[in-house]
Amino acid sequence: MTGLTGPHITLKLATSLDGRIALANGQSQWITGEEARSAVHRLRSEHDVVLTGIGTVLADDPQLTVRLAGYEGDQPGRVVLDTRLRTPETARLFDEGGPLLFMCGADVPAHIRATLEVRGAAVEIINRYDGPHISLKAAIRRIRELDGQGIMIEAGARLAASAVKLDLIDRIEWFRAPKLLGGDGLPVMAALGLERLDQAPIFERTRISECGADLHETYIRKRA
Ligand SMILES: NC(=O)c1ccc[n+]([C@@H]2O[C@H](COP(=O)([O-])OP(=O)(O)OC[C@H]3O[C@@H](n4cnc5c(N)ncnc54)[C@H](OP(=O)(O)O)[C@@H]3O)[C@@H](O)[C@H]2O)c1
């Protein structure tokens, strides 16, 4: 159970003890163990949509499907924010899984969009930009229109930070492995640009459990 009803956004994070998601050379699979990965599959099954960024697609080539023994429920939709549509046609996202939607900028040529469409994906243009990227807020609005009420973000530091900056995250599911990757590892979150501690978003921990050798913590956003 997600514990949240109605439209909500979950941020899933899998890190080392010191909040790193990859080594400096990009190696990231696998920081957490098998039990944590199964728990992530269960979380996917509880959401309508898994949302990621092109950075994760290029680094990890994920499928973002529910792969659990005996699972016969729906597969979540997959949405990729990919401003310039850099996803290769060979990405494993095309192999199997729920509906696949790429969101890109208005200036991506139609023939590039067509290469992903012939692979079975939908491509939608998002007209609004946040700096160099398409607007996350506009993307979420569109996902909601398509009936994606429960959204889980499984992405790298950049999309995670965009979502936190917009205060979109209602819940964090954090899997923490008992490993230290050090300050040269990639941090879980890109810059938030905070200038005072009282600007930091606060979350309340509502659950903590062991997940194999890892720790699984659930946090709910505390809004005033
Ligand atoms: N441990 C975990 O839980 C976990 C999960 C996933 C990924 N990762 C790791 O994260 C790393 C990749 O990190 P990343 O930051 O490059 O990937 P990301 O957050 O998945 O994707 C970032 C990219 O998404 C695109 N994007 C489009 N609209 C955006 C918006 N409004 N805000 C932010 N991004 C937007 C941007 O590229 P364009 O502007 O070109 O579209 C941006 O560079 C890899 O090492 C991967 O292994 C870890």
Predicted TM-score of the model (pTM): 0.97
Residue 75 has pLDDT above 60, yes or no: yes
- Name which residue sits closest to atom 10 of ligand 1, judged by CA: 156
Positive or negative: CA dihedral 21, 26, 31, 37: positive
Residue 9's identity, in one-letter code, is I
Domains parsed from the chain with CATH numbers: 8-221 (3.40.430.10)
50 half-sphere exposure, CB direction, 13 A CA radius: 27
11 in contact with ligand 1, CB cutoff 6 A: no
- Name which residue sits closest to atom 13 of ligand 1, judged by CA: 156
- Name which residue sits closest to atom 2 of ligand 1, judged by CA: 14
Q: What does the pLDDT look like over 12-55, one tens digit per residue?
A: 999 999 999 999 999 998 999 999 999 999 999 999 999 999 99
Q: What's the CA-to-centroid distance between 155 and ligand 1, angstroms?
A: 5
133 in contact with ligand 1, CB cutoff 6 A: yes
26 in contact with ligand 1, CB cutoff 6 A: yes
Ligand 1 atom nearest to CA at 130 = 31
pLDDT band at 97 (very low <50, low <70, confident <90, very high): very high
101 in contact with ligand 1, CB cutoff 6 A: no
Report the candidate in 186, 223, 165 with the shortest Cα–Cα distance to residue 31. 186
Positive or negative: CA dihedral 182, 176, 140, 79: positive
pLDDT band at 1 (very low <50, low <70, confident <90, very high): very low
